[in-house]
Amino acid sequence: MPVVLWLNTIENVARNIGDFARAFAVAAIIGAMWSPMAQADSLIFGLGYTSFSDDNAEDSPILSVEYQGDPFKSAGRWDFGLGGALSVDTNGDGHFGLGFYTIYNLQNNWFIEGSVMPGIYVNGSSGNLLGGKFQIRSLLAIGYDLDERNSISLAATHISNASTNDFNPGVNTAMLRWHRRF
């Protein structure tokens, strides 16, 4: 059964590839502008489950990939940087966003992470509407550095249009994430 869900997801994403292609083109342009600042990168892979606020929506497993550039500002225990995130669930719903992240380094390898990434949302299921294509993903996570290159975190995200449309149900996600620094 899980293989069928992922095949349906691939089919739904392929149907909406034009929107993702436009978002990717914008990301490539912005990434090229950021490249002088992004000397060290992090990729973050997440697996979780969605919870849509609308009763007509279908909750489902979700995968995410996030890029975080090298922090452009560090102040004490705080790091600030730019990044991008792509998430797709098994219903074919997807969000791609670009924005800011911050990390507060606690003691004993622990950290708190937050980010805000406005972007584009494409629904793969007719019940999973969020009130428009423009949606903002916010994230709060607590994590642990396993070593200099690997970390894990538990994150909660919220995607909504921030009341820019009359219809604004939103979707929440809980995810386990693996961070890999290069």
Question: 63 falls in which pLDDT band (50, 70, 90)?
Answer: very high
Whether residue 87 is predicted with pLDDT greater than 70 in this model: the reply is yes
Residue 13 amino acid letter: V
For all residues of the chain together, what is the average pLDDT?
85
Q: What does pTM read for this prediction?
A: 0.79
Fold entry, domain 2-181: Porin (2.40.160)
Percent of the chain with pLDDT over 70: 78
Whether residue 11 is predicted with pLDDT greater than 90 in this model: the reply is no
Name, in order, each residue with C-beta under 8 angstroms of 143's C-beta and a sequence gap of 6 or more: 110, 111, 112, 113, 151, 152, 153, 154, 177, 179
pLDDT of residue 126: 85
Tell me the average pLDDT across 138-151: 97
pLDDT of residue 38: 42
Tell me the average pLDDT across 85-102: 96
Q: How far apart are CA 61 and CA 92, in angstroms?
A: 10
Name, in order, each residue with C-beta under 8 angstroms of 17's C-beta and a sequence gap of 6 or more: none
Q: How far apart are CA 47 and CA 90, in angstroms?
A: 11
All structural domains of the chain with their residue ranges: 2-181
pLDDT of residue 107: 95
Whether residue 36 is predicted with pLDDT greater than 70 in this model: the reply is no
Q: Which residue has the higher pLDDT, 124 or 31?
A: 124
